[in-house]
Structures are given as C-alpha cells and as structure tokens.
Structure 1
C-alpha cells in the first residue's frame, strides 16, 4: 500500500512538473547567472581535451588548465556560450562548441531523496521536486519554501505558473517541502507527555 501511494505521489508530481513547464514556456524566463560550485558542460567538436564538465571555482573561473582564464561567474546565461566561443577562437580558427550551464540547488524537507542536485537552469521547481523523487507521504506540495539568497518565500508548487511550480530554479536555491500536521504526534502526544509529567510530580509530592 505504501509503495503504491509513493508511486501515485511521484506520478502526480511528474504531471505537475509537465504542467509547470508548459506554463513557464508561455510566460518566458528571466535571466540568471552562474555561481562558484556550479558546472559548465562544454562540447568542442574534435577536441576531447577541451570538452567535459567543469566546475566554477571560488574565483569565478572554470577549473581547467586552459579554461581557468575564462571567468563565468555572474555572466548572464544567454551570453555564456558567446563568451566561451570567443575564448576558443584564440585557440582554434572556427571552433564548433556547445555549452550547457548547470546550477546547484538543494532539495530537502519532506522529499524522498534530499540532496544537492546539479540541474539545467530551465528546470522548474516542480521538475526539481520530481527529480528528487517527489514528496514523502507527509510532504506538502502546496507549501514549499524557497530560500534564495536572503529571501524566503513559500509557494504552492502544485499550481502552475511562474509563482508556483513553474518558478525557475536559480543557483544556490534551497527548496524545502513542508510537512503535514499529525494531530496525534504534534498536539496530543506533547499534551499527554506534559500531563504525565505533572501527574508524576503530584505523586512524588504526596509521598
């Protein structure tokens, strides 16, 4: 039963992600940029030594003996390919290159596979949650906290649109799923524990 519930939850989360993607495609997306710790996947035709996945270092440059001259932190993503291509032209006459930025986000709370993920910047919040296995049985898709820099926002990731599940991720985001209230655990349990402590104290005082 629990496995079936988990599968249904994941499928529902995936469906929400597809809807959120469609809504985001209609609304467009705002520019974002890379930060240290993010990754750039570079494919240069016929140049395996210049191809691969390279991490953005603390200084903002790519960690690579050659690409270390390229500072990518803070560069708007639409300009990233052009910047790397311009650098490659100092090494090759007509480089054929494909560039794919990947940003790091942390998913936690009531989610099945909490971890740090490296995802494409076009990924929506709903898609990121689905990538991490979806919510647990106690997870709330309509109460997801997004921590972005010094801002903290609670969104309904079960809703499509740019302010819900269709919100695009950003480098360094923390995506935290809320937890359903359990009356027995959250309220009755603590009250019963306090009552038992009071009763024990009264019994001790009577001796």
Structure 2
C-alpha cells in the first residue's frame, strides 16, 4: 500500500473521532481554527474568527467560515482548491479553541468562561461559583445562536460554545 494511502487512512481515523464530536458545533466568532491541506504546509492556516466571520486563506483569499461545521468548511475548501489549484486536495479543519460561554444572573461570579466539550448547565453554574441564595431552582434559560433563540433548560442540558446562561432570581 502506498505511503500516501496509509497517511490518509491514519489522518481520517484520527480526525474522525474529533470531528464526530465537533459536527454538532458550527464555527463562530471567537473560535480559533486550524486548517491543514495534506502535504501542503504552505496552505496551513491558524486563525481566530473575528466579527466579520471571514479568514484570509492562502491562494483563495477571503472566505466566510462562520456558521459552518468543520466538515462543511473542509469540503468547501477542497472544492475551491480543485478549481485550478490542486488535483486531489485533502483538507482538515479543526476547532482548536472554542468561543467562551457566559453565565449571568443569580450566580456568585457571573462572566465568560472557556468552553469544554460535554459541559452541562450544572457544571457551568459550578464554574461560575455556584448559585446565590436567591437563585431560582427552575427559572434557567439559555440564549443560543445568532438568532438569539431562548431555551428553557435543566441541570443536565448540554452547553454549546457562545451560549449565554441566565439564572433568574426566586421570588421567595
């Protein structure tokens, strides 16, 4: 078996586990991504996504990356590189650092915190120092996504990058 095929198989297996978890996440403002093209070190890109949602990719120029999964972005880059630049590009996109999540309301230390995989609302509250005495036990919600969708949540609800968790005060 040629070395190229073995490397492709290895990279596919290695990144498939990471990408399986990441597929539920879309790239957004504040994320840090790494883009690699197999056997093309000059096309490696590391960038933090700014408010424009764009990155300047070698050969291709400015590209919109916001609101795409890593797999969608990799497929798009492969198609663009096929158009006159490369014969068989193999692109990998990883989110190296996720944008923070935020906790506000009736917690001891409201603010922004680094996101980690499999984080729940209960864990996020613990990271924010725990609930204050007047915190509601049920008035919790998340503001999620660019459309600012408001979702009622429970302790075991999973957090996504960029979520804003609000803990309301109890009346009694």
TM range (shorter): 0.5 to 0.7
* Equivalent residue in structure 2 for 1:100, among 86, 94, 100: 94
Question: Partner residue of 2:17?
Answer: none
> For 2:129, what is the secondary structure of its paired residue?
coil
User: Is 2:64 the counterpart of 1:68?
Assistant: no
Hey, what's the Cα distance between the residues in 1 that align with 2:57 and 2:136?
A: 40
> Which of the pair has more CA radius of gyration?
1
Quick check: 2:136–2:169 contact (8 Å CA) kept in 1?
A: no
Question: Partner residue of 1:174?
Answer: 164
- 1:82 shift after superposition: 0.5
Task: Looking at secondary structure, tell me which structure has more strand per residue.
Answer: 2
- 1:29 shift after superposition: 10
Unpaired runs of at least 5, structure 2: 1-19
Counterpart mapping for 1:68-147 below 5 A: 68-75=61-68, 78-89=71-82, 90-101=84-95, 103-109=98-104, 110=107, 114-115=111-112, 117=114, 123-126=117-120, 129=123, 134-138=127-131, 144-147=140-143
Hey, what's the Cα distance between the residues in 2 that align with 1:124 and 1:52?
A: 27
Quick check: 2:75–2:91 contact (8 Å CA) kept in 1?
A: no
The two structures, once aligned, show a CA RMSD in angstroms of 4.3
* Deviation readout 1:7-41 (Å, 9 max, x if unpaired): xxxxxxxxxxxxxxxxxx9xx99966444444432
> For 1:104, what is the secondary structure of its paired residue?
coil
Unpaired runs of at least 5, structure 1: 1-24, 188-207
Task: Looking at secondary structure, tell me which structure has more helix per residue.
Answer: 1
| TM-score, normalization by structure 2 | 0.55
> For 2:87, what is the secondary structure of its paired residue?
coil
| TM-score, normalization by structure 1 | 0.48
